[in-house]
Amino acid sequence: MKSVRSSLIIGCGYLGKRLLALCGDQNCRFTNRTESSDINSLVLDINDESTWNNLDVLSEEKALTIYCMVPPSQIDLTLFPSFVHRISSLNTTRCILISSTVVYGNTDRVVDSDSDVEIDSDRAKRQYYIEQAWLESNEDAFIVQLAGLYGPDRIIGRKTIMQGDTINGDPDGWLNLIHVDDAATLVKRVGEMDDPEIIELGCDGAPIKRKDYYSFVAETLEKPLPDFHIDDQTRGIGRRCDNKLTIERTGWQPEYRNFKEGLLKSM
């Protein structure tokens, strides 16, 4: 008899809630750092070892898929390798870390999921450390790197434009985006594939210059065009993310390939 696949979403926030909805009536649990009345909720804080024993409830699962979506800034790097080792003791068939394209650096170049990393910032260094700790856990470890998430209640730069603030950044720098619903379908797809690649990259495939993005948001909100500020701390022009390889390997297709359409439906 074939085992029924179950799953656990660690860090069920903006993206995790979309994934949870896609799972529907499947055997899908999610974590909270505090008690919840939801029977599918599991108390777990990856930075609090005293909660890790709560994973024992999953010890009888024979085909477990784990999705780790905790923001990197909220991860205690000194504890993370031990937490990953704790996960590896479960009967997992897939352990997917949601990561970021920041590991490809800020050089103006086209990158995909097979590109070499370029660690040129503290943020990239932290993210790459998390990725490597995850991949070293076991043979079931995989990574989905995502471009900038946007969607309902999460419009990048909206608050800045509404307040009339100056934007820190090169107006000619590249932004790479992905709608939250497209990100969720990609993550779910990788979780269900029989033989996925170790790393996949999710983006809409249409990098946009920062000035064009913010100008469109300002126009849509009927606000003045923003001013930009550049100084010695301003990052480089930035990478341009290409999703063609991931599309070819997974069969996933983003619904929102044009950030304008995605933003208008999200506002």
Q: What is the mean pLDDT of residues 157-165?
A: 95
pLDDT at 231: 82
* Residue 3 reports pLDDT greater than 60: no
Residue 66 placed within a domain: yes
Residue 216 placed within a domain: no
| Count of domains observed in the chain | 1
List Cβ neighbours of 2 (8 Å cut-off, separation of 6 or more).
none
Q: What is the mean pLDDT of residues 155-177?
A: 95
Residue 228 placed within a domain: no
Residue 15 placed within a domain: yes
Distance CA 96, CA 98 (A): 6
Domain of residue 82: give its range: 6-150+179-203+240-252
pLDDT at 137: 83
- The model's pLDDT over 46-91, given as tens digits with 9 standing for 90+, comes to 999 999 999 999 999 989 999 999 999 999 999 999 999 999 999 9
- The model's pLDDT over 8-51, given as tens digits with 9 standing for 90+, comes to 999 999 999 999 999 876 789 999 999 988 999 999 999 999 99
Token pair for 127: 């993210």
Residue 211 placed within a domain: no
Whole-model pTM over 0.85: yes
- The model's pLDDT over 214-226, given as tens digits with 9 standing for 90+, comes to 999 999 999 999 9
pLDDT at 267: 87
Distance CA 27, CA 7 (A): 6
The DSSP code for 25 is: T
Residue 191 placed within a domain: yes
Residue 192, helix vs strand vs coil: helix
pLDDT at 161: 96
pLDDT at 25: 65
* Residue 144 reports pLDDT greater than 90: yes
Residue 230 placed within a domain: no
List Cβ neighbours of 68 (8 Å cut-off, separation of 6 or more).
10, 11, 95, 96, 97, 98, 134
Distance CA 248, CA 236 (A): 30
User: Is 257 in contact with 204 (CB distance < 8 Å)?
Assistant: yes
CATH number at residue 187: 3.40.50.720
Residue 131 placed within a domain: yes
pLDDT at 111: 98
What is the overall mean pLDDT for the chain?
94
Q: What is the mean pLDDT of residues 182-200?
A: 96
pLDDT at 4: 54
pLDDT at 2: 42
Strands 228-229 and 41-43: unpaired
Q: Rounded to 5 degrees, what are φ and ψ at 95?
A: -125, 110
Q: What is the mean pLDDT of residues 221-244?
A: 89
